[in-house]
Amino acid sequence: EIVLTQSPTTMAASPGEKVTLTCRASSSVSYMHWYQQRSGTSPKLWIYETSKLASGVPNRFSGSGSGTSYSLTINSMETEDAATYYCQQGSSYPHTFGAGTKLELK
C-alpha cells in the first residue's frame, strides 16, 4: 500500500499570501490528485494528474511534482480557499488518500 504523507497538518495564511502544501508518497506514483473539502460539504476534485485544474478551479492554484514528491500551490490566498486539502494516488490499488492539510485564514 502506498502511504501519502501531507504537510503541514494545519496552517494559516493571510489574504494575498503564497501557500504551498506538500504530499509525499512512500513509493513512486505516476500522478497526484488533489481534493478540496470545505466544512460540512463533499470533497471536490481540485487538481488532477498532478497539474491539471478541475473545472471551475481558479488559476491562482497550481500543482506540480513527480515520483514521490508533489505540491499544491496557491499563488495568492483568498478567503474562499480556506478548506482541507487531500492528496490521492490512483496509480495502484488500494487507492489511498493523505490525511489532509487544513488551511485556515489568518
Partner 1 sequence: EVQLVESGGGLVQPGRSLKLSCAASGFTFSNYYMAWVRQAPKKGLEWVATISTSGSRTYYPDSVKGRFTISRDNAKSSLYLQMNSLKSEDTATYYCARDRDSYAQDVSFDYWGQGVMVTVSS
Binding site for partner 1 (CB under 8 A): 1, 30-31, 33, 35, 42-45, 48-49, 54, 86, 88, 90-91, 93-100
- Find all residues with CB under 8 Å of 25, minimum gap 6, and list them: 2, 3, 4, 5, 32, 67, 68, 69, 70, 89
Closest to partner 1 by CB, 55 or 79: 55
Tell the smallest beta-carbon distance from residue 1 to partner 1 (Å).
8
CB nearer to partner 1: give 1 or 16.
1
Shortest Å distance, C-beta 43 to partner 1 = 6
